[in-house]
Amino acid sequence: MKRFFTFNGTISGSTFILRSLFTIVLSIPFIVIVFAMLGTIVFSYMDIDLAAADGMSMEESNALGEDAGLKIAEEMMEIGPMAWFSQNISAFWIIATILSLVPVMWFALATYYKRVSALFYSNRVKAFIAFFIAELTLDIVGLSSGNDTVYWICALIGLGIFGYLLFTDSPIGEHDG
């Protein structure tokens, strides 16, 4: 198990895609924690006892949800989004969210490092840093530009980099990662 999370060895393109897909599976705890956090926030704004919700019709539950959403929006407009988040999201949720992301990020970085090592073995550290900076720059520019064209250009360049890592033959005969 340890070899999957270490930054040594190389992997083939097929292993790279499988490990990339497994990263999605590793992110399931993060998704569950985020939905639980959002659920507790929304339920705290609902004026209902969960035991009484058993006999509730769909219209009544939709009305309760809309009322909770309006309360959240009004409060957020009154005190500001950052103040609202600091009041409603506890340190427990922040720590749990970060802890659930650590294995995902570590595994993803190890996967990319192993594939970059397979393609650029002699300059693997420099190539990995260049790849990481390029991907990070593309993500930041694409998401912060506010322009759909810039976003899609950055997304396609990122997809091209992923495709290059996936489909390029490595000079290494047998991979050890």
Domain-embedded: residue 137: yes
What tokens were used for 91? 């340190």
Distance of CA 7 to the CA centre of its chain: 21
Domain-embedded: residue 123: yes
Domain-embedded: residue 32: yes
Domain-embedded: residue 139: yes
Q: Which residues contact 28 (CB under 8 A, 6 or more apart)?
A: none
One-letter amino acid of 71? K
Give the mean pLDDT of 64-79. 83
For the chain, what is the domain count? Answer: 1
The 8-class DSSP code of residue 30 comes to: H
pLDDT in tens, 27-62: 999 999 999 998 888 777 776 666 666 667 788 778
Domain-embedded: residue 175: no
pLDDT of residue 12: 82
Domain-embedded: residue 61: yes
CA distance 17 to 122: 23
pLDDT of residue 41: 82
Task: Please check whether residue 41 is in contact with residue 72, taking contact to mean a CB–CB distance below 8 angstroms.
Answer: yes
pLDDT of residue 74: 86
Domain-embedded: residue 93: yes
pLDDT of residue 158: 93
Q: pTM of the entire structure? A: 0.76
pLDDT of residue 177: 57
Cα distances (angstroms) measured from residue 92 to each of 42, 67, 85: 17, 27, 13
- Binned at pLDDT 50, 70 and 90, residue 1 comes out as low
In which domain, by residue range, is 76 found?
A: 2-167
Predicted confidence (pLDDT) at residue 3 exceeds the cutoff of 70: no
pLDDT in tens, 125-176: 999 999 999 999 999 999 998 888 999 999 999 999 999 998 988 877 666 6
Domain-embedded: residue 176: no
pLDDT in tens, 109-119: 999 998 898 88
Percent of the chain with pLDDT over 90: 43
Helix H or strand E segment including 96 = helix 91-119
